[in-house]
Structures are given as structure tokens and as C-alpha cells.
């Protein structure tokens, strides 16, 4: 094992740079050269889209959000025809060809479910790969946590704290839409940490009348304001997802807009002044929390260990208290949603938070 490539794919998440740093430092200490590939697998399309990474290049990046390698989020490239300096090629053929030409021995692929699925396909084409799970949504199966999630929850909790004071001052209902795609992890954790009165998640289709009834009940006992946290993937019973953009040309659908709908509905049903806020990409920005830095560092070091042991077609995972290896084939094509018997969900219900069910 002399030379490995490292890339980041999909939406960015706080902690990506901490993983890159950990991989580069541990690989270097093990005598392995690291090549940073720019813009996900696109970094393997042309030789000029990569650079050698040494501990010098990754100095001071642990606390930085984003990714020094760049990333793309445009769906599965397999089957796509592309123009290269050596003529037209099928995307995956070019990647395999360049992997050989660059004399790489393995790849460390840091990404979410989409990127890991692509990585799994490249394993099938003979590229030895170790994956590292990344997403603020925390929806990758086989790992208790993905780095990025804790930072997103911390940011959303802070936002809810700030909205509490203005909600109370104006006796309003504040609706906060958070990310998470088809899983309610961010909404559940930030909602509980922020002391929300209602939390709407994709796993529990909601009845807005029931949410409104709970908020009116609060008014009756003297709490004249409420906070409602809505996951972007939440939808009403018998209704459908709110979309900003439908899936097209390999791009996945973009969720968003349910917060405004819930806001309008609650205003009508309760007669109270109601406002909505979308936290959006702010949840993906900024410095990673210490938890995410530590997890990212452990993931990076473990990925290099798996590379050295030749354990390819795997993904590092957090199975507290250990970092373990999982088979990519066991995790791709699935997502980890909030189980209805999740202890935090049950605790929130026991405390009287409404889930609209
Ligand atoms: O998967 C991470 C995530 O931030 C989701 O929570 C969100 O739905 C999506 O990415 C947004 O993607 P984009 O950056 O392409 O708008």
C-alpha cells in the first residue's frame, strides 16, 4: 500500500476537513502517500484535478467547515457520457482508467448514502474502497452517528433558543423548518434540546388539528407562545411531501416548504400570530462541534487502518463505544429513520410534546 486517493462527495457537512486531516496524518505516519481528489469522483477524470496532501496541507483545517477538496451533489454518474482530454468516455470507465494511471492503490470515500452507493458500484468495477459516512441528516444505516449531525443539532438548538425569546415577547407561534431529508433525527434532537412544544417528523404523518389543539391548550394555562419544529420531510396524514424541486436528470428531489404550510395552517386553526423560519444550509456551515471533530478523527484513522488491512468494500461506523467496519453492500440503498419506539421520541411524548399523532 503506497498511494491512496481521498475524496468528499455529496452535500458538505461540518467535520469533512477533520476526516481529511486524520486520513492524511495517519496515512503519512504509516508511509502511505495521500492524493486529494477534487470535486468527488470528478477528481479522477483528469490528472490536473488532484494534488498531493501532506500534513502541511492539512494543518489547521480541523475546525473548518466545508471541504478543502470540494464536492459535488448531482446524483449517480454511472452511464453518463463525458468529454475528457482524451476524447469522449463513459464516466465510470474514465474513473477506473485514471485510478490505474494515477497508480492509486485504494480510495477513501467520504460521503452520504448517495456517494457510498456510487462507491459500492466502483468496488464492483475493481476499485478498492473504504467509505466514511457523512451527513447532517444522520440517516445512514449501520452507524449510530455520522459526523456533522451533532453540529447541525447544536446550531438548530441555538436557533430555537433565540426564537423562544422573540416568540415569548410577541406571544407568537414560531415554526422552525430544519433539514434531515426523509428522517426526523435533526428535528427530534434539536426539538427536544430546544424545548419545542411540537415536533413534526417524516416518520409520523401529522394531523395539524391535533397540533393546534395542543398549542391552544398551552394558551389556556398561560403559556402564550409556542415553538414548533418541522422536519423538511414531514407531511400531513393523507398528504404529500413539500418539494422545492422534483428529481430530474440524476438529481434527487429537493425538499422544503412544509414549515410555511404548517405556519399558515396553525395561524388559521389557532387564530394566533404565527411566523416561520427555514434554517436551511446554515445547519451545514461553521465549525464542527468537539463531538464531530473527535468522531471525524476516529473515522479517518480507522479508515486508514482498514486500508492497511486490505478490508475494502467497507465503511467505518460508530457502534458505541467502538469504531467498527461495516460492509457497504449491507448499507447502500437503505436509510435509517427514527424508529417509533426510539427512547428520545418516547421521552418527548412523555413530556407532552406533540408529534401531531
Ligand atoms: O443531506 C444533507 C442535506 O442538507 C439535506 O438535509 C437536504 O435536504 C439536502 O442536503 C440539501 O441539498 P442541497 O445542498 O443540494 O440543497
The residue ranges of DSSP E strands in 92-215, in sequence order, are: 106-111, 129-133, 173-178, 198-200
- Rounded distance from Cα 228 to ligand 1 centre (Å): 21
Residue closest via CA to ligand 1's atom 14 equals 11
Report pLDDT for 189. Answer: 98
Strand pairing category for 50-53 and 81-84: unpaired
Whether ligand 1 lies within 6 angstroms of the CB of 279 is answered as no
Other C-beta atoms closer than 10 Å to the C-beta of 333 total 11
Distance of CA 168 to the CA centre of its chain: 32
Whether ligand 1 lies within 6 angstroms of the CB of 335 is answered as no
Q: Which atom of ligand 1 is nearest to the CA of 10?
A: 1
Mutate to test the pocket of ligand 1, among 137, 184, 253, 286 (most ligand atoms within 8 A of CB): 137
Other C-beta atoms closer than 10 Å to the C-beta of 220 total 8
Whether ligand 1 lies within 6 angstroms of the CB of 336 is answered as no
The answer to whether the CB of 27 falls within 8 A of the CB of 304 is yes
Question: 226 — phi, psi (to 5°)?
Answer: -150, 155
Q: What is the DSSP letter of 248?
A: B
Stated as kind and residue range, the H or E segment containing 258 is helix 258-270
Q: Which atom of ligand 1 is nearest to the CA of 186?
A: 6
Mutate to test the pocket of ligand 1, among 8, 9, 10, 11 (most ligand atoms within 8 A of CB): 11
158 is catalytic: no
Report pLDDT for 303. Answer: 98
Report pLDDT for 143. Answer: 98
- Three-state DSSP class for residue 99: helix
Whether ligand 1 lies within 6 angstroms of the CB of 134 is answered as no
Whole-number Å distance between alpha carbons of 341 and 343 = 6
Distance of CA 317 to the CA centre of its chain: 14
Whole-number Å distance between alpha carbons of 72 and 68 = 13
Whether ligand 1 lies within 6 angstroms of the CB of 11 is answered as yes
Report pLDDT for 250. Answer: 78
Nearest to 233 by CA among 214, 205, 209: 205
Whole-number Å distance between alpha carbons of 280 and 184 = 15
Q: Which atom of ligand 1 is nearest to the CA of 139?
A: 1
Nearest 5°: the CA angle 181, 326, 41 is: 60
- Rounded distance from Cα 3 to ligand 1 centre (Å): 32
Whole-number Å distance between alpha carbons of 222 and 204 = 28
Report pLDDT for 184. Answer: 98
Rounding to the nearest 10 degrees, give the CA dihedral for residues 56, 129, 318, 153. Answer: 70
Report pLDDT for 47. Answer: 87
Whether ligand 1 lies within 6 angstroms of the CB of 254 is answered as yes
Report pLDDT for 73. Answer: 87
Task: Name the grid cell of 265.
Answer: 395552517
Whole-number Å distance between alpha carbons of 310 and 122 = 16
- Rounded distance from Cα 326 to ligand 1 centre (Å): 24
Report pLDDT for 76. Answer: 85
Identify the residue whose cell numbers are 469522483: 41
Distance of CA 182 to the CA centre of its chain: 11
Whether ligand 1 lies within 6 angstroms of the CB of 284 is answered as yes
The one catalytic residue in 12, 42, 113, 137 is 137
Q: What is the pLDDT along the chain (357 residues), one digit of tens a residue?
A: 899 999 999 999 999 999 999 999 999 999 999 999 999 999 999 989 999 999 999 999 999 999 999 999 888 888 899 999 889 999 999 999 999 999 999 999 999 999 999 999 999 999 999 999 999 999 999 999 999 999 999 999 999 999 999 999 999 999 999 999 999 999 999 999 999 999 999 999 999 999 999 999 999 999 999 999 999 999 999 999 999 999 988 788 999 999 999 999 999 999 999 999 999 999 999 999 999 999 999 999 999 999 999 999 999 999 999 999 999 999 999 999 999 999 999 999 999 999 999
- Rounded distance from Cα 11 to ligand 1 centre (Å): 6
Whole-number Å distance between alpha carbons of 80 and 249 = 10
Report pLDDT for 221. Answer: 93
Amino acid at each position: 500500500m503506497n498511494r491512496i486517493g481521498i475524496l468528499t462527495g455529496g452535500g458538505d457537512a461540518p467535520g469533512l476537513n477533520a476526516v481529511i486531516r486524520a486520513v492524511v496524518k495517519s496515512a503519512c505516519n504509516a508511509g502511505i502517500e495521500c492524493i486529494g481528489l477534487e470535486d468527488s469522483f470528478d477528481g479522477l477524470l483528469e490528472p490536473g484535478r488532484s494534488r498531493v496532501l501532506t500534513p502541511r496541507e492539512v494543518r489547521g483545517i480541523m475546525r473548518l467547515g466545508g471541504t478543502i477538496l470540494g464536492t459535488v451533489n448531482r446524483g449517480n454518474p454511472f452511464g453518463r457520457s463525458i468529454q475528457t482530454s482524451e476524447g469522449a468516455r463513459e464516466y465510470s470507465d474514465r474513473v477506473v482508467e485514471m485510478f490505474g494511471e494515477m497508480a492509486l492503490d485504494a480510495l477513501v470515500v467520504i460521503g452520504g448514502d448517495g456517494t457510498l452507493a456510487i462507491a459500492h458500484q466502483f468496488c464492483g468495477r475493481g476499485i478498492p474502497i473504504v467509505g466514511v459516512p457523512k451527513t447532517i441528516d444522520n440517516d445512514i444505516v449501520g452507524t449510530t452517528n455520522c459526523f456533522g449531525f451533532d453540529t447541525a443539532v447544536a446550531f438548530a438548538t441555538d436557533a430555537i433558543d433565540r426564537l423562544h425569546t422573540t416568540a415569548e415577547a410577541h406571544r407568537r407561534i414560531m415554526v422552525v423548518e430544519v433539514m434531515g431529508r426523509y428522517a426526523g433525527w435533526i428535528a427530534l434532537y434539536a426539538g427536544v434540546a430546544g424545548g419545542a412544544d411540537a415536533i413534526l417528523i417524516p416518520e409520523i404523518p401529522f394531523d395539524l388539528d391535533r397540533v393546534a389543539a395542543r398549542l391552544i391548550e398551552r394558551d389556556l394555562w398561560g403559556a402564550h407562545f409556542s415553538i414548533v419544529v418541522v422536519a423538511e420531510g414531514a407531511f400531513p396524514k393523507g398528504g404529500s411531501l413539500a418539494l422545492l424541486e422534483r428529481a430530474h436528470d440524476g438529481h434527487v428531489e429537493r425538499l422544503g416548504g412544509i414549515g410555511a404550510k404548517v405556519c399558515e395552517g396553525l395561524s388559521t386553526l389557532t387564530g394566533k400570530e404565527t411566523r416561520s423560519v427555514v434554517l436551511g444550509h446554515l445547519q451545514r456551515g461553521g465549525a464542527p462541534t468537539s463531538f464531530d471533530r473527535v468522531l471525524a478523527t476516529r473515522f479517518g484513522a480507522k479508515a486508514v487502518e482498514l486500508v492497511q488491512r486490505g478490508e475494502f468494500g467497507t465503511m467505518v461506523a460508530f457502534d458505541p463505544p467502538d469504531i467498527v467496519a461495516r460492509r457497504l453492500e449491507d448499507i447502500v440503498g437503505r436509510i435509517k429513520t427514527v424508529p417509533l419506539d426510539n427512547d428520545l421520541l418516547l421521552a418527548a411524548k412523555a413530556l407532552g410534546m406533540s408529534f401531531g399523532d
